[in-house]
Structure 1
């Protein structure tokens, strides 16, 4: 009888050892939207998926292309997506009226906003003081255009003195090159590579006036999640950020490998262009002095409050949202794991 009990105990122990393989919780499904069509700056999301980092966090992540940085917010608001890569300034605008439903930014990627005025190096615009009387081209509704009067006021320029010409987004650079406008209000990550595609040198042939260098120091794109996902599945959000954070670091360490992998997802990708876009954006918008101080993903609280105030004023929001309604650092990996790696070109 004693031997039988021993055998039963051994069998029970073996069943308990093997049980977790069958009792493991099902993977959390996360529908993730990008801000635009697949580009080099999205390489880390696909790297995390291809390398199994999402799976290792027990996540089943579906990545879809986007329709704009602001559209990421509305896509999550609608319930169609759980998380995405988009613009914190659009979060601010929506949090003013729908704070409980608006997604929160949980990992800041673009520590420096890509909003800029672009002009030819030999053009009439040598400094912002030359803006009055010159022609500025910008697409209707673009954030760069909405913030232009704020930029002007901040630099003692009468917004009424600005001569604005509305242009189609795909014709901005051509109109500047043809002299139809003297400058264009752009998203640097896009225009820089458009100029490269035209066989021009964005650094030597053009002059860039970043809003952030002239008093409009905003944040920009990062990872945001729905309040529902953050509340119901906080561990899934932490896992999502761990996977993306690891992928960003590895992508920067070997950008060519990341672009090669991305090209398997989008065969029409121009690998040389997207490799340069990736390294340019990392060097100009992500690897900033602030990111080197706080680590990737985090923000400076006072700067965030200031940017919320700037956006609230520029878009004439009825109410200025609180910082906690816009950004939540509670899901970030430890700072030591988020330090920006040196770019490997």
Structure 2
């Protein structure tokens, strides 16, 4: 059985486009930011950047809303509902190919190693990806993991047309797998791992894990993305946003309890023990890699990005391959030394 402990891991219908409403805070630029998911441990740094005044120091009045999936976050920014967000780079690639000039652009990569996984019950019928054919795979409607499943299937001889996809409410994904209502789920590993712990299950003994990154799909994943309007009209706001988030990530890595305390303040129902473990899981598994050691958090390898784009273009039969600059811009990154994670505490 594959265990997820390798590498030592544990509003309104549509808001007006950027610049439409005046800021309530004198002299600050208003900015709406959407997360990829409900508030969890790996979102603590966004709230910390807000509470410690890092956004304000950058001249920003940031409103943070929870999201409904990594791919959905890209769509919400692209629609003009949000100025920036935390979403999936592969969805950016797809939109850049299909609707060039409208797609958001990633300016700070957070998850250097994609946390995509197919998860099945250890006592269930899915013992290999091929076993998904003729069975039901569940995932939230806005899931980047589900969106990238056809690419995973193609790499592993699976016919995605033979896999029945079920859209599940975000809070019911793991529950439906445990209850046998679906045969497997497509989910972020850190999300499911800790949700299983919270349900009193043993993530390593009770489930089989099929990691995309171990099965021929070496994609990047989530990062900070901004709208074309923000990029064009307020580049200084983009620079300030990136600097504030980078600073807060380093703060939380050095003092995880401070980040979890802020998350608890924002979401009183937060289980601090569970969310701290989830946050450390993501820091160690997805954010600390040989590549981030070399390049610093936030940046990426251009050749690897080209390979990731080729995978998306081939999987979806897209008519064009976008230029790397349409997908990712490193212009706004702080100096490399400022993007090195400190030794993780906790």
- TM-score tier, shorter chain, comes to 0.7 to 0.9
Match of 1:18 in 2: none
- Aligned twin of 1:36: 37
| Displacement after TM superposition at 1:231 (Å) | 2.3
My pick for the range that moved more, 142-151 or 307-316, is: 142-151
SS for the counterpart of 1:89 is helix
Measured after TM superposition, the shift of residue 121 of structure 1 is: 4.2
> Residue 273 of structure 1 aligns to a residue in which SS?
helix
Q: What are the superposed Cα offsets for residues 114-165 of structure 1, whole Å, 9 maximum, x if unpaired?
A: 211213445565555x63667452237544344334323323x242695546
Instruction: State the shift of 1:316 in Å.
Output: 2.8
Alignment partners' CA distance in 1, 2:144 and 2:293:
27
CA distance in 2, matches of 1:260, 1:107: 25
Aligned residue-pair number: 319
Q: Is the 8 A contact 1:107 1:298 kept in 2?
A: yes
Indicate conservation of the 8 Å contact 1:118/1:207, yes or no: yes
Report the Cα distance in structure 2 between the residues aligned to 1:82 and 1:204, rounded to whole angstroms: 42
Q: TM-score, normalised by structure 1?
A: 0.84
Equivalent in the alignment of 1:205: 206
Distance change >3 Å, CA 31–CA 207, structure 1 → 2: same
Residues 300-315 of structure 1 mapped to structure 2, 5 A cutoff: 300-315=301-316
Measured at CA, do residues 35 and 181 of structure 1 come closer, stay the same or move farther in structure 2, by a change above 3 Å? closer
Largest Rg, 1 or 2: 1
- Say whether the 8 Å CA contact 1:165–1:181 is kept in structure 2: no
Distance (Å, rounded) in 1 between the aligned partners of 2:249 and 2:84: 17
Q: 267-276 vs 107-116, which deviates more?
A: 267-276
Q: 1:263 maps to which residue?
A: 264
Name the structure 2 match of 1:251.
252
Comparing both structures, which one devotes a greater share of its residues to helix? 1
Secondary structure at 1:330 match in 2: coil
Q: TM-score, normalising length from structure 2?
A: 0.83
The offset of 1:317, in angstroms, is 2.5
Aligned-residue offset at 1:207: 2.9
1:195 deviation in Å?
A: 0.5
Aligned equivalents of 1:188, 1:50: Cα separation in 2: 28
- Structure 1 residue 289: Cα displacement: 2.0
What residue in structure 1 maps to residue 53 of structure 2? 52
- Post-superposition CA distance 1:14-48 (Å, at most 9, x none): xxxxxxxxxxx922222212122222111101111
Point out where structure 2 has 5 or more consecutive residues left out of the alignment. 1-25
Does the Cα contact within 8 Å between 1:146 and 1:315 map onto a contact in 2? no
Alignment of 1:5-44 (within 5 A): 26-44=27-45
CA RMSD of aligned residues (A): 2.4
1:80 is matched with: 81
Mapped partners of 1:273, 1:122: distance in 2: 25
Q: Are 2:246 and 1:241 aligned?
A: no
Question: Structure 1 pair 158/126, CA: closer, same or farther in 2 (3 Å)?
Answer: closer
| Ranges in structure 1 where 5+ consecutive residues have no aligned partner | 1-24
Give the CA deviation at 1:50.
0.9
Aligned counterparts of 2:69 and 2:137: Cα–Cα separation in 1: 19
Tell me the distance in 1 between the aligned counterparts of 2:243 and 2:137.
40
Deviation at 1:182, TM superposition (A): 4.7
Equivalent residue number for residue 283 of structure 2: 282
